[in-house]
A and B are shown apart, each in its own frame.
Chain A
Amino acid sequence: MTSIQIPELSFSLIAPELILCTAAIVILLVDLYVKNVERINITLLALIGIVLAFFSAGTLYGASELAFSWLIIRDDMSVVIDQIFLIGAALIVLMSHHYSERYHFPYGEYIVLLLFSTLGMLIISASADLITLFLGVELVSITLFVLTGFEKKSLLSGEASLKYLLLGAFSSAFMVYGIAFIFGMCRTTNLISIGSLLSEDFIGSPLLILGFALLLVGLGFKIALAPFHMWAPDVYQGAPTPITAWIAAGSKLAGFIALVRVFSLPDISFHPLARTWVEGIWWLSLLTMIIGNAGALVQKDIKRMLAYSSIAHGGYLSMAFVSHNDVGLQALLFYLAAYLFMTIGAFAVVIAAGRHGEERRRISDFAGLAKRRPFLAAMMSLFLLSLAGMPPTAGFIGKVWLFGSAIQAQYYGLAIVGILTTLFSFYYYLRVIVYMYMRDEEKEFEAEPLSVSLTLALSLSALGVLILGVFPNTLMKVITNSVIVL
């Protein structure tokens, strides 16, 4: 009997994923069998897993390989992205540790689901095949549906979870449909093979364009590009705040990385098909910037405002696909890292401003915060200014780089709209700062004292925003190198 040729399995290339998965399973078992396990121990276990995964990802720099029968690609870009995801996950774990003290939800399961969603993001960043990509997207989505509804006693949370589930399932259907069309035309789901097929004189048939368009719609839902953004404000408002931050930062990042993997196939920048989707994304980007910023102007709830601001940022970020050059891709990666820090930081302040049983979610609740809690007010100002794009923060460098890429690709109109909407956005970001520093609070409210974990999350995010803003060179260099390898 002949033995079967077993494809080469290079487990070392997916070490970060394996470590994270193991950590999640260990926490699940500990939570099951150790009676009355302290929450701090679960947090520490999760952090150990994340840190180990972070360093094991670090050892993979320089690898440029396809593994597992071309299902996994391990290039420098995936390593950078993995590390950004893992930093984000660590910040969210720290925030959750503080937040879960207020609401007694099953903390072990919560952390396990959080780690699995991070695992999904790592899978997306390393996927070289539409099937792996879809697997990652689904892992992220399904865990987030559950996490959104974790505040069982809150009606808003349940509503958010249901809406997210229905629209998420809907968008996944779009994605699968698109993948089916692409498979039908190319007879492969492998992105590298599809790329080489397209770069030969493969006539872009309408069905293939339809496939890519459906895929774009599906991913557009996940990253809340207008007109597929309707779910975002409700879900952001209803979800537990650390999860809101994770949806805003992690899941959005993951969606953009999925787009990078699909729409930056090698050697097809000059393919006629590229022009088609560039045109599509041009409109999506324009609409998203306008709708996101216009929506944020009228919000009274800070989580809804940040939701619209996150939609608007999706618009700026998708500009990178329109400019469709190396600079755009580099700017996108840099801005995603910057965006992760400032969004997570802003939501951490929202958590810190509340207390058990009483969240501070209206913008007017932030009146007079500067007098009572100068540290929190300063942090919030830093994150909001970075979101608005003020120097010397990370948001400024990112925006300059992004708009620069659009100008370099001669999309002046889009760049101008981006700059104008950014100016508008100053109004609603500064309004919160004005409330904090220049208004008196309506009635006395004593927030909880800051816990160690939340202080750590806040300071690390602030450090990230400032370091990327003042010394952007380190990350820039890493990103520039990683994109050239691509």
Chain B
Amino acid sequence: MLLLDYFPIFIMASLAMAFAGGTVLASFWVGPRQDKSEKLDTYECGMPPIGTPHERFNVKFFLVAMVFVIFDIEIVFLFLWAVIFRRLGWFGLAEMGIFLMILVFALLYVWEKGVLEWASKAK
């Protein structure tokens, strides 16, 4: 009964899928095909492709991304805390102090390991 109410949506969805699928299939069957090597090549703005797309990224991208996520989440907590800062009182301040202290240790670690320096001294 409840499902019947959704019947128009079902028709709509079926029509949409039939249209989308039908167009793709029609162009696949009806359209002319020329399987030449240039055509099957990677499309790169009309230029002949150079090298492989699987490039090795510098590991620093990932390190910075991870550090960013950690401190981003810290900000989320800080916002909530700041909104009710007065009502939480000294207890909240102390708790947040401990929380930030732990994160500062992490920051010190990251700093000392040289993650924050983009152009690293080659080791």
Q: Which residues of A contact B (CB under 8 A)?
A: 1-4, 6, 25, 28-29, 32-33
Q: Is the CB of A29 within 8 A of B88?
A: no
Q: Is the CB of B108 within 8 A of A32?
A: yes
Taking the nearest CB of chain A, how far is it from the CB of B81, in angstroms?
A: 11
Residues of A close to B44: CB separation below 8 A: none
Asked if B68 is at the interface of the complex by the 8 Å CB criterion, the answer is no
Q: Is the CB of A2 within 8 A of B87?
A: yes
Residues of A close to B88: CB separation below 8 A: 3-4, 6
CA distance A32 to B105 in the complex (A): 10
Residue of A nearest to B112 (CB): A32
Q: Is the CB of A6 within 8 A of B105?
A: no
Q: Which residues of B contact A (CB under 8 A)?
A: 84, 86-89, 91, 102, 105, 108-109, 112
Residues of B close to A4: CB separation below 8 A: 84, 87-88
CA distance A102 to B112 in the complex (A): 26
Q: Is the CB of B102 within 8 A of A3?
A: no
Q: Is the CB of A6 within 8 A of B91?
A: yes
- Give the contacting residue for B109; candidates A3, A6, A32; CB below 8 A: A32
Taking the nearest CB of chain B, how far is it from the CB of A34, in angstroms?
A: 12
- Give the contacting residue for A29; candidates B86, B87, B91, B108; CB below 8 A: B108
Q: Is the CB of B105 within 8 A of A28?
A: yes
Q: Is the CB of B87 within 8 A of A3?
A: yes
CA distance A2 to B91 in the complex (A): 15
Residue of B nearest to A25 (CB): B105
Q: Is the CB of B84 within 8 A of A29?
A: no
Residues of A close to B108: CB separation below 8 A: 29, 32
Taking the nearest CB of chain A, how far is it from the CB of B118, in angstroms?
A: 20
Residues of A close to B91: CB separation below 8 A: 6
Residue of B nearest to A106 (CB): B113
Residues of B close to A1: CB separation below 8 A: 86-87
CA distance A4 to B84 in the complex (A): 9
- Give the contacting residue for A28; candidates B84, B86, B87, B109; CB below 8 A: B109
Residues of A close to B109: CB separation below 8 A: 28, 32
Taking the nearest CB of chain A, how far is it from the CB of B111, in angstroms?
A: 9
Taking the nearest CB of chain A, how far is it from the CB of B88, in angstroms?
A: 6
Q: Given contact pairs A2-B87, A6-B88, enumerate 15 new A-B contacts (beta carbons under 8 Å).
A: A1-B86, A3-B87, A3-B88, A3-B89, A4-B87, A4-B88, A6-B91, A25-B102, A25-B105, A28-B105, A29-B108, A32-B108, A32-B109, A32-B112, A33-B112
Q: Across chains A and B, which 7 residue pairs bring their CB atoms closest together, nearest first? A: A32-B112, A4-B87, A3-B87, A25-B105, A1-B87, A6-B91, A4-B88
